[in-house]
Structure 1
Amino acid sequence: MAVSNSYCFRPPKVISRCTLFKSSYALNNGCHNVVCFIKRSDRQVNLEEKVGLLLDNIKWDDKGLTVAIAQNIDTGAVLMQGFTNRDALLTTISSRKATFYSRSRSALWTKGETSMNFINVSDIFLDCDRDSIIYLGKPDGPTCHTGSETCYYTSVYDVLNNPQVEENKLALTTLYSLESTISQRKNEISFSQNGKPSWTKRLLLDEKLLCSKIREEADELCRTLEENEDKLRTSSEAADLLYHAMVLLANRGVKVEEVLQILRQRFSQSGIEEKRSRKS
């Protein structure tokens, strides 16, 4: 189950007539107490009960821990994996900063507390067995201590094929693999090339050609609807349009992640509100 935004609470500015809520783990162990001031009301007392019930229904191991995975909400990239306990999860819900439990230090730690590269949590998901958690959020910067975007940058198959080669190869999904290839072609343009340039390089070098192809592919995609063509044809034309649009993004120095972030920000807006905000 996902913990919706309405279930997440934050300390109010006014704390008069408030009650202290501490996680049972903190009370029993006397360390890293997570104290949240919750204004006394039927709704918030009910919220305490819901959070407590949620924590009670997670299958913690014999040490009170479970796996927590941080995932980029826009790219889908798996950023890192750690462990969480009741207090760490409660802190994440309250602060919206991905927080874990360090087994080596026996202490809570929030990703970014030293580097300032926090992972800002938008939602939290539990798996079907309630024994692992996903923090779905937006990182402020590189997640890995090495400076890499994620902690997952070593391909097993690359290592097996060539153990001598050490590469920083991110685990990219299809869309981002394409973006990476287009970016590589763009970087190669500055070097002298022998032979005929690739189609991607031609598009990057000729803006008029690129724009004409985008208009052409958009028209062909619309025709699949107007002429009731089959799904495969629609998928093919959509792929062509998406590819050429991504070449334009690369030409303009815009990342796909930036586009997806704007789309995500529009989720809570109606189309009328979104258009009105553009004019302002």
Structure 2
Amino acid sequence: MEIDFNKNGDGLVPAIIQDATTKNVLMLGYMNLEAYEKTMATKKVTFYSRSKKRLWTKGEESGNFLNLVDIKNDCDSDTLLVFVNPVGPTCHTGTDTCWAGKNTQSFGFLSELESIIESRKENQNDEKSYVASLFRKGINKVAQKVGEEAVEVVIEAKDDNEELFLNESADLLFHYLILLQAKGYKLSDVVNVLKSRS
């Protein structure tokens, strides 16, 4: 990998640090050639500190290392994207990221949907909410709905109507997310089981 450390005239390139699992951006640092080589050799991310004027390995004092997974160079060969498995919080302030964000796994729209389902679970008195009504009826009704939707997916899978198949699949996934929360779990718990099997 060719990295243009001299493009800006200071021998440094930005290094964007991203969690290899959650894909969240954790921090931004700078590397010179020596920091890059040390990172590759030790598999612990090392930067060049512009304030201290020396190399520093993230976690050398706190123990919150950034264990290297992979490094990619951008199209201009002057910015690095560094994939890591962080040990503990990344920011010196004690937060998960340098933007004070939580480094939690997100599944995009499905995570938004989980949040809505969770709010309905917490507010089961909402008479207008279908989800709240399912929670009020209890685990047996929620599980029954998942079973019904699963059967409908199987039926539609055997036919050629793609729209009906996708709609029934969406219904199944939606009700499964409700069942997970009725049992006290989230999608991430299922993903962790799948990861442990891979």
The alignment's TM-score, normalised by the length of structure 2, stands at: 0.72
Aligned residues: 193
Structure 1 CA distance for aligned equivalents of residues 192 and 33 of structure 2:
30
Structure 2 counterpart of 1:176? 111
2:48 to 84, 87, 101: 101
Q: Are the counterparts in 2 of residues 66 and 85 from structure 1 also a CA contact under 8 Å?
A: yes
Structure 2 counterpart of 1:141? 88
Q: Are the counterparts in 2 of residues 75 and 257 from structure 1 also a CA contact under 8 Å?
A: no
Q: Are the counterparts in 1 of residues 180 and 187 from structure 2 also a CA contact under 8 Å?
A: yes
Which structure 2 residue ranges, 5 or more long, are not aligned?
none
Structure 1 CA distance for aligned equivalents of residues 186 and 90 of structure 2:
18
- Report the alpha carbon displacement of residue 58 of structure 1 after superposing the two structures with TM: 0.8
User: Relative to 1, partners in 2 of residues 1:91 and 1:153: Cα closer, same or farther, differing over 3 Å?
Assistant: same
1:245 aligns with 2:180: no
- Report the alpha carbon displacement of residue 203 of structure 1 after superposing the two structures with TM: 4.4
1:207 aligns with 2:142: no
Structure 2 counterpart of 1:73? 20
1:151 aligns with 2:98: yes
Structure 2 counterpart of 1:221? 153
- Report the alpha carbon displacement of residue 92 of structure 1 after superposing the two structures with TM: 2.7
Structure 2 CA distance for aligned equivalents of residues 111 and 204 of structure 1:
46
- Report the alpha carbon displacement of residue 63 of structure 1 after superposing the two structures with TM: 1.4
Structure 2 CA distance for aligned equivalents of residues 139 and 103 of structure 1:
22
SS state at 1:58 partner: coil
Which structure 1 residue ranges, 5 or more long, are not aligned?
1-53, 155-167, 268-280
Structure 1 CA distance for aligned equivalents of residues 135 and 58 of structure 2:
39
Structure 2 CA distance for aligned equivalents of residues 97 and 204 of structure 1:
47
Q: Give the CA RMSD over aligned residues.
A: 3.4
SS state at 2:112 partner: helix
1:90 aligns with 2:21: no
Q: Are the counterparts in 1 of residues 125 and 132 from structure 2 also a CA contact under 8 Å?
A: no
Structure 1 counterpart of 2:60? 113
Structure 2 counterpart of 1:132? 79
Which amino acid in the other structure matches residue 58 of structure 1?
A: I
The alignment's TM-score, normalised by the length of structure 1, stands at: 0.55
- Report the alpha carbon displacement of residue 218 of structure 1 after superposing the two structures with TM: 3.1
User: Relative to 1, partners in 2 of residues 1:143 and 1:195: Cα closer, same or farther, differing over 3 Å?
Assistant: same
Which amino acid in the other structure matches residue 137 of structure 1?
A: V
User: Relative to 1, partners in 2 of residues 1:237 and 1:108: Cα closer, same or farther, differing over 3 Å?
Assistant: farther
- Report the alpha carbon displacement of residue 174 of structure 1 after superposing the two structures with TM: 2.7
1:58 aligns with 2:58: no
- Report the alpha carbon displacement of residue 228 of structure 1 after superposing the two structures with TM: 2.4
User: Could you list the per-position Cα deviations for residues 122-144 of structure 1 after superposition, in whole angstroms to 9, with x for gaps in the alignment?
Assistant: 22222222222222233333333
- Report the alpha carbon displacement of residue 234 of structure 1 after superposing the two structures with TM: 4.7
SS state at 1:105 partner: coil
Q: Once the two structures are aligned, what percentage of the paired residues are identical?
A: 40
Structure 2 counterpart of 1:13? none
Structure 2 CA distance for aligned equivalents of residues 122 and 196 of structure 1:
49
User: Relative to 1, partners in 2 of residues 1:220 and 1:84: Cα closer, same or farther, differing over 3 Å?
Assistant: farther
- Report the alpha carbon displacement of residue 109 of structure 1 after superposing the two structures with TM: 2.7
